A and B are shown apart, each in its own frame.
Chain A
Amino acid sequence: MTDLKTKVGSLVLKNPVVLASGTCGYGEVFEDFFPARKVGAIVTKGVSLEPRPGNPPPRICETESGMLNSIGLENVGVEKFISEKLPWLRRNKVTTIVNIFGEKAGEYLRLAEILDREPGVSGLELNLSCPNVKKGGLEFGRDEKAVAEITSGVKEKTSLAVWVKLSASRSDPAALALAAQSAGADAVVISNTLKGMAIDLEKRRPLLAPVTGGLSGPAIKPVALAAVFEAARKVKIPVVACGGIFSGRDALEFLLAGAAAVELGTACLVNPLAAVEIIREMGNYLDRARVQSLKEWVGKIELDR
């Protein structure tokens, strides 16, 4: 059996399959389907200082081989997260990364300070790339300076691993990854959803109430793959891939391109067993290819023609 263990900075994950923020609640939503400890790690729904009700519906629409969402970072707020959600994650021995989000830079710092003290939290993922909120999110993820400022600010407040979630929508996502690295990030996550839109022709109006949303699913996989590949060649810190990974083969492509781990999002919404199926598929493929450990696979893309 291939050893699927992988290292993302200081964190050792039992396998490279991580559940992406916003698609796994606070871990408990998959309870009927598989034990949460099976996955490498879980990244929680984005947590903000105060609870957020989210955007008005419709928040979801299907597109070709993908979907748009504009949930608007609905969440219970950090206080309730710690008192009501974190105990479940702790009890189930899940490696937990808390995705944090703020409308102002200071809110990320405050969240880092609060979560730093909490047992059961292994790391933070800074959401600097959500396309669905007016303030914060992508606003901070657009330029290197803002990415570096928030990242270094958070690093000062916590000794937890800090992953910085960036968008692949820029022409040079690697530049943002470099900015995160120089600010002390332990890893970068590429990508978030990409801004998209759908229109109901008969009603002559957008399908989503908030007009635009974030595109996810197989439709964005090639975009994410290129961004991960380019970033992984430029930075020394690990790159965690996210975007349209729907099979073990998809995941292995991202690892070959240089990702140390992969995040599954939309795949788990479509099939709640996707994570365990993908872990099994990866293991079987690597066994057949006689790969002993992921060290022999990650970044080993063949570029010579």
Chain B
Amino acid sequence: MKRQVLDCKISYNKPIARGIYLLGLKVGKKLGLVPGQFFMVRVQEGNDPLLGRPLDWFYYDRAKDVLEFVYQVVGRGTALLSQRKKGEPVGILGPLGRGWDWKPGNKNVLLVAGGLGIPGLWDFCMDSKKNRSCAMTLLWGAKTRDLFFLMDKIPKAINFIPATEDGSLGEKGMVTDQLKKMLRSGFRPEYIFACGPQLMLKALAGIAQEYDIPGQVLYTERMACGFGACLGCAAPKAGGGYLHVCTDGPAFKFEEIDWERVK
């Protein structure tokens, strides 16, 4: 669908984990969304904070007209957003970018989420057409157990494997370490969808190359506009130059990015 400026109203804005909030917005019109697309969400009206926050849409209930986002309070902007109340207006811009390219023929899919990467993958988890048509494994890692949320919503059909850096939930270590262990013991996904910090994606791209598993990542970079005007969100392009996360991505195939230059 066309990218639009949408004046929404807050339905709810509530903590769901330590420092992590679920924001539900009444949009007032029907949206056509692709998983992996994102919106620029304005924290409040006025010029400070100035820029929208790029957030992956988390869950969309078309019948109830509620579009959900999950965000973590990491600075002043997200702290202000967490104080916004039900009924207050929030301006969003979107849907933006090129979302995931889901191949219906996938038989054995691995989803890898690093921390707040999970929103970009949530629709795959919730979509029974997808999670019943193939074996789906979700590897979700975070620093500690307090940073997980809505785990009870994850359908039984999905093989869910949590991992924490401190071992407080699931396997101890990074998701990429966990994946290496699984691959060594014979696990062979056909395709990977991954969302998380750049360095996690870089490590994952290396593993995927070693085991020759194709896949896509939702890449993140600081951006100002979200629609291709500022050219701020540069991602190193395989073969030289840069891609732009907001228009060329955020979903990229592993081989589109020059991971050597991702630091």
Q: A residues bordering B, Cβ < 8 Å?
A: 22-25, 29-30, 32-33, 45, 53-62, 64-67, 69, 71, 74, 217-218, 246, 266, 268-273
Contact = CB atoms under 8 A, between A and B. Distances in A.
Interface stretch (B102-110, B128-136, B165-173, B216-224): B216-224
A59 B222 contact: yes
B110 to A, nearest CB: 27
Given A32-B2, A269-B225, A60 B232 contact: yes
B241 interface: yes
B224 A54 contact: no
Contacts of A217: 47, 50
B229 A67 contact: no
B224 A25 contact: no
A60 B5 contact: no
A61 B221 CA distance: 11
B230 A69 contact: yes
Nearest to B241: A53
Contacts, number: 103
Most buried by A among B4, B48, B236, B261: B48
Contacts of B242: 53-54, 57, 74
Main SS of chain A's interface residues? loop
A276 to B, nearest CB: 11
B147 interface: no
B78 to A, nearest CB: 12
Contacts of A218: 47-48, 50
B50 A67 contact: yes
Interface string B1-45: 011110000000000000000000000000000000000000000
Given A217-B47, A270-B50, A54 B234 contact: yes
23 contacts: A23-B229, A24-B229, A53-B240, A56-B236, A57-B221, A57-B242, A59-B222, A59-B234, A60-B224, A60-B230, A64-B48, A67-B51, A67-B224, A74-B231, A218-B47, A266-B50, A268-B229, A269-B230, A270-B224, A271-B93, A272-B93, A272-B229, A273-B5
Contacts of A24: 229
B227 interface: yes
